[in-house]
Each structure stands twice: as structure tokens, then as C-alpha cells.
Amino acid sequence: MIRAVFFSIFDVHEGPKVLHQVPADSIAPSLGSSQNPLFDFPTVSSYIIPRPEYCSKLITFCTLLHRILCRPVCLHSSSYPRNAYTFSIALVLDASTPFASYATVTLKLASLLQTLEEQSRFLSRDASAPNTGKIYALCEILLEDLNNYCESMIPIDDSNTLNIKLFPTYPPPPPLYPYHVPLSTVRLDSLTDPNWDLTMLKVLPYIDGINSVKQISLLADADYKLVRKAIEHLLYYGCLLLLDIFSFNASYAPTAELASFVENTDMQDECAKYVALPSIQGNAKASQSGPVGGFQLMELYLKLRQGQTVKTFYIENVETMDKIDVRRFITFGVIKGFLYRAHRYAITTSQTSRRKREHRTKSKQKTNISTAVLFQADDTDTDPHMVELEKFLDGTHCFDEICTELMISEQELMSRLKAFRDVQIICR
């Protein structure tokens, strides 16, 4: 929120001086005023009206409680006293307020006023008393509109209009990989426009919480890099969440955040409605929380553990699970943060030994010494599929990533892993 807007100049007789300020007396109180200013202007005036070499640059600094943003401008002309006219329009924010979007507003304001001054001496010829006139009105409208509407349109004269909008800044989105599954948090159909990017329009129908990024690019028949950029764009604006590929061979376990689910009955009701099968959901009239109560849902979530697949969990609790959508049951816990996925990774020591053998072979070849065969090639050395798989067996690539990159099923991956002698599968 903007606390104040003020316009200051360098007066040839008084030095740095505040001409207009909104609210009144917020920066330089008039004589007899009992209001305390937001900060001591004389102390920081050298930053707001600096030397000419520091002008035309964004300046931002903090006092004890506030942040000041300004872009001083110094214009040189023989028509000005001392052949120069220096002015600055500044915004005052709370010190803790993110100021990236306000910096853009400050730069645009200074640029517009500089253009108006160069064209028609809009600023230097203004003989209005302090806190009156067009410049004061501009500061007043700007403060009110940006705080209330985050945008402002101010007509300056017949040929100039100021249009400013505060665009929110968001943190960078998390890294996006081919095996991530995007899930929409808003109704994307209601946001679409015929003028949207063509790749975006092709991608939207396949964002359903089931298809991975790689699958979406194949189904949409679009370049993967363009699809990834489109999904990152939606992710940046909070329209999507990222999930793992759902599989009955996957393993999930509860976190400490499950306590919040246990204590929050509203979340339990939300979960019951979300996970209910359509046929059950339509017939459930006995309970507001759906066909499965909150206590049953808590019991089910507590039964999940590492090393237990979703398939095994479903079979063990089939009497209750046949009333709910198991994919939505898992997804709800992941979204709320009280379930985590225990990924599986494959690691082998045969890759290291092969590198050593290849290094020895190359060394012998360089010295022109004829040698016998150092090792007997096995299937993994000649099969191109195995060679391609081997680069993922270093313990840093999860099964989802391997299956997505190689375009194979998890069952096919397990059968290929059996061809390696020293493969260990770890969960973490």
C-alpha cells in the first residue's frame, strides 16, 4: 500500500524542496501543523534530489519504517535558472512491502513528467501554490486509484493521458519436469480467449490431473518446449499444481501435517465430497460429509506407509475403498500436504566397473599393445535399450522420470532392470 506521494524540486534559493504531498503534511509539515511526518525530509533530501550524475536512475532506500522510491530527473537548458531544472516524484511504502511492481510505476511516472516538461514546460511553468494545481491533483488521484483499484488513468491535457497499472509479482514457479502432472486450481475454460497462444489452447483440454507434461505434449501434438513454457506460465500465476504420476505401484506415507486434517472437520467434509465416486456422491443423503465419514478417512490415511503400494493398500481396505475414488483420495492428501510420495530409485555398480574396463581398453589401444579381450560382453553392453537405460541408474532418477523419458511402463522398466547384475532399488 502506498503511504504517500510527493513531488519535489531543487529550488535555486532553498535547495531541495517539497512542493506537493499527499496526504497533506505527510512529508514536510507546514508551520503550526501537529502532524508527525513519515520521515525527516532534510535528512534524505540528497537521495531524492541528488547530484546530476545520479539522476535518471531508479533510487530506492529505506528509513526506519518506510521505503522511498524515486527517479530524479535533471534537465539542462539555458531557459532555467542556473541552466538546470531538477525534479523528482516519489512513492512512500511500508518498509516490508514488496516494491518490484511499484518500481515500474515510479519509472513510468518520471518518464512521463520528463516528456511533458521537455515538450511544454508542464512542470516549471506551473505557478500553483503548494498542494494545489494539476501536479497536486495528479499525485492525489494516483494515490487513491493505485491503493483502491491497482490502476489509474489520468488525463493530463488534450494529447496526453497517464495509464498506470500495478501488476502483481509472484515467486518463481517450481522446476517443471516431463514427469510432473499438472492439476488445474481454477476453471481454465472460463479464462480462455480466442486470442490466446495457439499452443496454450491446444494444451488446456489435456490438463486433467492425470496426464504428465510429456503426455500432454504428445496428445496435443505440440512441441514439448512450447508445452512446457505454456504450463510454466499457468504455474506462475497459480492456475496449476504439480503432482506425481498416479500409479497403483506407488507408495505414499503421511506426514506430521496429518494432525491438521484430524482437527479440521471442514477439511474432512471437503475430502469426503472430493473423493466420493459419482454414483455414490449422488445418492449420499444420510451424511453431509458424503458416503465416507471423517473418522474413516483418518483411519485410511493413517494406514498408508512406506513400502506398501497403493494396490496392496486398496486390497486390504477394499470394503471402504470401493466407495471412493482412490486416485482422488491420494491426490487430496498430496495437495493438502499431509501425504508424500516415496519415490523409487535404481542404482547399479556395474556402470562404474564398465567405465574402468573401457578406460583400461583405451589405455592399451593408445600404447599400441595387443591385448586379449578384457571382459565378455553381456546383453546390457550390446542392447541399445539397456545402454540408454544405464545412464539413469545412478540413484538420482526416480522411476517416474525413467519411464517418462524412455516412454515405457513401470512393468517394462522392472523387466529391463533384471538384466543388470548389481541393481538395487531404494525408496526415499
Residues of the chain above pLDDT 70, percent: 89
pLDDT band at 62 (very low <50, low <70, confident <90, very high): very high
- Residue 389's H or E segment, with its range, is helix 384-390
**What average pLDDT does range 307-314 have in this prediction?**
94
What pLDDT does 371 receive? Answer: 31
pLDDT band at 409 (very low <50, low <70, confident <90, very high): very high
What pLDDT does 289 receive? Answer: 40
What pLDDT does 170 receive? Answer: 83
**CB-CB contact of 284 with 338 (8 Å):** no
**What average pLDDT does range 196-220 have in this prediction?**
95
* Burial track 118-147 (b if 16+ CB lie within 10 A, e otherwise): eeeebbbebeeeebeeebbebbbbbbebbe
**What average pLDDT does range 52-78 have in this prediction?**
93
What pLDDT does 168 receive? Answer: 80
Please check the confidence at residue 5 and state whether its pLDDT lies above 80: yes
CA distance 409 to 53: 64
What pLDDT does 67 receive? Answer: 95
Q: Please provide the DSSP assignment of 86-116 as one string.
A: EEEEEEEEETTS--HHHHHHHHHHHHHHHHH
* Other C-beta atoms lying within 10 Å of the C-beta of residue 17: 15
pLDDT in tens, 85-126: 999 999 999 999 889 889 999 999 999 999 999 988 999 998
Regarding predicted confidence, which is higher, 278 or 96? 96
Please check the confidence at residue 381 and state whether its pLDDT lies above 70: no
pLDDT band at 401 (very low <50, low <70, confident <90, very high): very high
Average the pLDDT over each of 110-114, 219-223, 353-357, 402-406 and give the range with the smallest value: 353-357
What pLDDT does 382 receive? Answer: 61
**Rounded to whole angstroms, what are the CA distances from 63 to 28, 160, 196?**
15, 35, 44
Average the pLDDT over each of 24-28, 237-241, 419-423 and give the range with the smallest value: 419-423
What pLDDT does 159 receive? Answer: 83
Please check the confidence at residue 194 and state whether its pLDDT lies above 80: yes
CA distance 191 to 205: 13
**What average pLDDT does range 55-70 have in this prediction?**
93
Please check the confidence at residue 156 and state whether its pLDDT lies above 70: yes
What pLDDT does 333 receive? Answer: 96
CA distance 24 to 21: 6
Please check the confidence at residue 201 and state whether its pLDDT lies above 70: yes
The segment with the largest mean pLDDT, out of 163-172, 191-200, 215-224, 382-391, is 215-224
pLDDT band at 282 (very low <50, low <70, confident <90, very high): low
What pLDDT does 372 receive? Answer: 32
Residues of the chain above pLDDT 90, percent: 63
Phi-psi region of 320 (alpha: psi -120 to 50; beta: other; left: phi over 0): alpha
What pLDDT does 288 receive? Answer: 43
Nearest to 100, CA basis, from 91, 89, 88: 91
pLDDT in tens, 163-185: 999 888 888 889 999 999 999 99
pLDDT in tens, 341-379: 999 999 987 644 455 445 444 544 443 333 333 333 355
**What average pLDDT does range 375-392 have in this prediction?**
68
Residue type, 425: I
What pLDDT does 356 receive? Answer: 43
Model's pTM, two decimal places? 0.71
